[in-house]
Amino acid sequence: MEEKLLNTSRKIIHIDMDAFFASVEQLDNPAFRGKPVAVGGSRERGVVAAASYEARKYGVRSAMPSKTAYQKCPHIIFTPPRFDRYKEVSSIIRSIFLEYTDLVEPLSLDEAYLDVTENKMGMASATLIAKAIRKEIKEKTGLTASAGISINKFLAKIASDYQKPDGITLIGPEKAISFLEKLEVDKFFGVGKVTSKKMHDLGIHTGLDLKQWTKEALKVKFGKAGAFYYDIVRGDDQRPVNPNRIRKSLGAENTFDYDLIEIDDMKMALDPILQTVYKRLEKADTFGKTLTLKVKFKDFSQITRSITQTDYITDSDLLKQLTFNLLEQITWPDFPEGVRLLGVTCSNFEHDEAEENTTKSGYQLTIEF
């Protein structure tokens, strides 16, 4: 089968702030600078929402129980999250993006895609734009950001994580295919631990290995995701940067470093997840009627439990209460002992009937990166 010609016409940047929540805390409190900091619960109770790079050196990660983080790093500094402050800094960063292009697609408070194929500055080089944005972020906020530049969203996302923190990586059109072929499948955005293990068991360790499989064979092994894997390893990602994307759902989830057994531990682990979900709903200025709890067990099996309210869920306390109710209604003896992931999603929004504009524009230009 003849492969599609690689689309090299777009210039996409992915900006990802470095350890954003923890970095803001270190910025605002000089006593925290250069020290291991965890944003989240106290030392004895709660869950780490974010960890500074100094804390990560000790193995502290987000979604880890605070008690475990303290065991790994006894001198770690715990500080409660300040979402209003993070949102304030995020707004400054967003305004910088908009100086260069209106095609900005935020993924969260600390990361976004930018399409700079045509930009407000008239700059031919996406790399120079990324450098200018990172410099301006540093000057205006005191924080560092990592940037990835490439021909599509998938490659730009991978590139931004390649030289973290405070790094910039270009995967140019001429290097895209060779880069993907050499890349370990574990590094592919969208390939998690379970899929990675399954790929390894099938002898798929790199992009080149993945490329040997037909689309039909990958779909048999991985379902609909198989077609996605087939395309991305060939550099084929046509998703536009969409600043007006209509969300059908908003949620968050965390995978834990060790299996949770007790309901109280699960509730503590859900706290930062629920905070994130509520802040995302507030930021999107939309609320849903349907709440879904996702539970994945230690054997990787999973279940979901949902409830739909008559009115929109606009109160954070109600969001927590409904989630905890769903958790308590699960008949635990029917499932494997030990929970490795919890997730919460809100859906059934007011605008669900609206159609998303998916118009794509195409270019056939030779462009400078």
Please list the residues that pair with 308 across neighbouring strands: 290
Closest to 38 in 3D by CA, of 20, 22, 59: 22
Q: Which residues fall within 8 angstroms of residue 79, CB to CB, at 6 or more apart?
A: 25, 29, 32, 37, 38, 39
Report which secondary-structure segment, H or E, holds 240.
Answer: none
For 101, 289, 312, the CA distances from 274, given in Å and listed in that order, are 32, 15, 16
Tokens found for residue 243: 């600043």
CA dist 318 and 87 (Å) reads 23
Residue 111 annotated among the catalytic residues of the structure = yes
> From the DSSP assignment, how many helices (H) and strands (E) are in the chain?
13, 12
d(CA 335, CA 327): 13
From 99, 111, 328, 355, the catalytic residue: 111
Catalytic residues: 111
